[in-house]
A and B are shown apart, each in its own frame.
Chain A
Amino acid sequence: MKKLLVIFLSMLLIVSATACSKESSGDSKDKKNGKDVITIWTYPHYRENAEINQKSYEQHLQELIAEVEKENKDIKVEYEILSWEEGDKKFDIALNSGNPPDIFFSTMKPKYIKTGLAVPLDDYIDAEDRKDLEQFAIDNFSIDGKLWAISQWISIHTWGGNKALLEAAGADVAKIQKDGWTWQEFYEISEKISKMTTKDGKKIYGFATQGKNEETFTHLMRNNGVPKSVTEDGEFKWDGEEAVETLSFVKKMMDNGVMPKETAGLDEQKVIDMFTAGETGIFGRTGPYQVRFNDNRNKEIDAGKIEGEKIDFALLPFPHNEGVKEVATGGGGGMWLFKQKKYKGDKHTENAAKVLKHITGTKSSITAATLFIPPARKSGQEMYKDLLQLNTDNGQFIKRTLDYVVPGAKLDPELAQKQDQILNDGIRPKFQGFLAGELSPEETVEQWTQVAESVLK
């Protein structure tokens, strides 16, 4: 019996020692039945909706993977759909342990480039491919003259409005969508809405936005003549009168009950809940995807699946200060290519790039079209034009906005990290303090400028 125990324990030791000594990126995992295994990590962009015959994002991805595997018999693609809550964290850990997936969906993040594991895509895409991408999509993912991801869509940032409430306040929604509006015009309409009440007597706010970060302030600053917080030369631009003026505008809205005084404590979901409950006429930020969500919600109300009032939804541009040029903001998610710390070889990287190209090709524009977001590929916009419905009022607005989307500053990874630090150590906390009524506009700007100066010195 004792001998048996000794043998058992020795075997356990050997097994655990072997397991510990074997790197997870060993050959056995990278090759399956002689095939090169390419891994993709992405997110659940949309779910299946049988009501409108809509497949899930995962089903669309599976179709693309099946195609690429069929065309390349030596490649096996493994994918993982991450959760929105934990996905970034999981990827950060994988990246920093030197073992990221080959392909990952993300917005533009210069910190990935700084790790040295992101692979620029310039060598893998040809001129024709590049020409098919909207210029903004290329600019958005370019740093130091290199393309770091292939964009799947152009995510325009907009505000959203309840057309019925806007019109009740005297707004000409079509004109606003076509020509834009000034802060003053926006304020007048919002103020009128803020005097209204819901059917059950609740106050309706003119405008509501989340107060967890400075995004809305950024949009207003861009429309007050300051498109970048930090320039490519390392200059901090949110230190002047424009910043104080923009904060004062926000303060005026909160003080006068146009915006909730509790904005500091509102998150995105709460704001959307307020909008769908008819408790705010305008909300920010949203994007073209909200048109699809709203359409689906209206259909579900019609079908008796959910309760609530149907909303005639209108995408709205960010208002601009009088005499200042209107600026639209956009971004977009795309597929990044990564190598591992324990390099798997040029052939593996080439194969991964091949897969990446296919899953971001023209057919992949179904993802953007399903979400009612303009695909980054011109060929995709053409292929799915019926699904995109660009001939509607909201569609026309999207088309117009695409023409004046101004990308953010193209900072090198070092400067981008400093910008991040200014944001996290200065702008965001001070802005939260401002929204909570603890700092005046002047104090807010003064304090975050101090942080910016110490970071940039």
Chain B
Amino acid sequence: MAATVSETSKKWSWVNFKQFMKDYGWCYAFIALPFLLFLVFTVYPLITAFIMSFQEYGILESKFIGFENYKYLLENEIFWKSMKNTVIYTVGTVPVNILITFFLALMIFPINKRSQTFFKASFYLPAVTSGITMSLIWLWMFDPTESGLMNIVLGWFGFDQQMWLASSDSALFSIMLMTYIGGHGSGVILYLAAMGGIPKSLYEAADIDAASWWSKLKNITWPLLKPTTLYMLITGVIGSFQVFEATYVMTQGGPNFATTTIAYLIYQHAFQYYQFGLASAEAFILGFVIIIISVLQFKYMSSDVEY
């Protein structure tokens, strides 16, 4: 009797499967190629890098060394310094840039469509410029001599000239300053789109109650933009934890490790010392930190977010 039931259910599932494939097989056929590419170009390198993080990697021969790479990193002063720099950079850039972007969007939103388009395009322009080119321009602006552009501007206000990237005290801040001045394009577009989605009736009701501009901003605009803000916060944190280009082009991690970030350290271990095992271990620690922070952000900040 039991065997008969089993056979029936097997037959029943096979029929179901065939029907399922008939109905939805197309979807799988369509996602097969991207899925294959994902396996080959994302999952496979990820697994390989994970294995490498437990090896003393050599091109011709690698040796398993257990947790030695991780142990070395956790005891390494430069690793912790780079982690600290990365955290300072993230804390110092992401919230500030979100606020700057928000206020830029707030100023652009009320103006007419044509002007909006102009400003959106203008703010987005740096995003289509190569990061290396941008860094080189900033390098020129941060010239520490009296002929440096930033020093000339400071001079107009009576301030002394600064060393900018050449001093441990100001180097990391100088790199952060770059992000404050440029790089708001995509954020502005996102905020403007989200602002356009807020029902006008809410503002009309607030107007009837004689709500002030600040009150409308605080109680309508900002809360309803929370999903966008959360998205920008999470992607911003992930991006800033991976900051590399500016450090690589402008300071090479110096002076005295003041701008050595974790991503730059990974590059240095991989391509200056050919220590790919160590670099992989660093990459996994970085990945782990990013996951933890993202989960925490979702947990504590997305409770009242509506999508």
Q: Are A212 and B252 in contact (CB under 8 A)?
A: yes
B305 close to A (CB within 8 Å): no
How many interface residues does B have (CB within 8 Å)?
40
B60 close to A (CB within 8 Å): yes
A-to-B contact residues, CB < 8 Å: 2, 5-6, 9, 12-13, 16-17, 20, 85, 89, 92-93, 95-96, 98, 111, 114-117, 211-212, 260, 262, 264-267, 270, 341, 417, 420-421, 424-425, 428-430, 432-433, 435-436, 438-439
Shortest C-beta distance, B19 to chain A (Å), equals 16
Which A residues touch B276, using CB under 8 A?
A: 96
The one of B36, B58, B145 that contacts A16, using a Cβ cutoff of 8 Å: B36
Known contacts A111-B274, A115-B59; is A266 also within 8 Å of B144 by CB?
A: yes
Q: Are B255 and A262 in contact (CB under 8 A)?
A: no
- What separation, in Å, do the CA atoms of A262 and B145 have in the docked complex? 6
- What separation, in Å, do the CA atoms of A267 and B250 have in the docked complex? 10
- What separation, in Å, do the CA atoms of A89 and B132 have in the docked complex? 14
The one of A5, A116, A341, A432 that contacts B256, using a Cβ cutoff of 8 Å: A432
Q: Are B254 and A438 in contact (CB under 8 A)?
A: no
Digit string of B265-305 for contact with A (CB within 8 Å is 1, else 0)?
Answer: 00010111110100000000000000000000000000000
- What separation, in Å, do the CA atoms of A93 and B274 have in the docked complex? 10
B54 close to A (CB within 8 Å): no
Which B residues touch A436, using CB under 8 A?
A: 163, 166-168, 255-256
Among B32, B37, B161, chain A packs the most CB atoms within 10 A around the CB of: B32
Which A residues touch B143, using CB under 8 A?
A: 265, 270
Q: Are A420 and B273 in contact (CB under 8 A)?
A: yes
- What separation, in Å, do the CA atoms of A150 and B273 have in the docked complex? 24
Shortest C-beta distance, A14 to chain B (Å), equals 11
Q: Are A16 and B273 in contact (CB under 8 A)?
A: no
Q: Are B273 and A433 in contact (CB under 8 A)?
A: no
Given contacts A115-B274, A265-B142, A438-B168, 8 further A-B contacts (CB under 8 A): A6-B29, A13-B32, A13-B36, A267-B139, A341-B59, A420-B272, A420-B273, A429-B256
Q: Are B271 and A89 in contact (CB under 8 A)?
A: yes
B94 close to A (CB within 8 Å): no
Q: Are A116 and B271 in contact (CB under 8 A)?
A: no
The one of A116, A211, A262, A430 that contacts B58, using a Cβ cutoff of 8 Å: A116
- What separation, in Å, do the CA atoms of A260 and B148 have in the docked complex? 14
B164 close to A (CB within 8 Å): yes
Shortest C-beta distance, A445 to chain B (Å), equals 14
Known contacts A116-B60, A262-B144; is A211 also within 8 Å of B271 by CB?
A: no
Known contacts A9-B30, A420-B272, A432-B256; is A16 also within 8 Å of B168 by CB?
A: no
Chain A residue with minimal CB distance to B76? A425
B78 close to A (CB within 8 Å): yes
The one of B163, B167, B254, B274 that contacts A429, using a Cβ cutoff of 8 Å: B254
The one of A17, A265, A429 that contacts B257, using a Cβ cutoff of 8 Å: A429
Which B residues touch A9, using CB under 8 A?
A: 29-30, 32-33
Q: Are B59 and A264 in contact (CB under 8 A)?
A: no
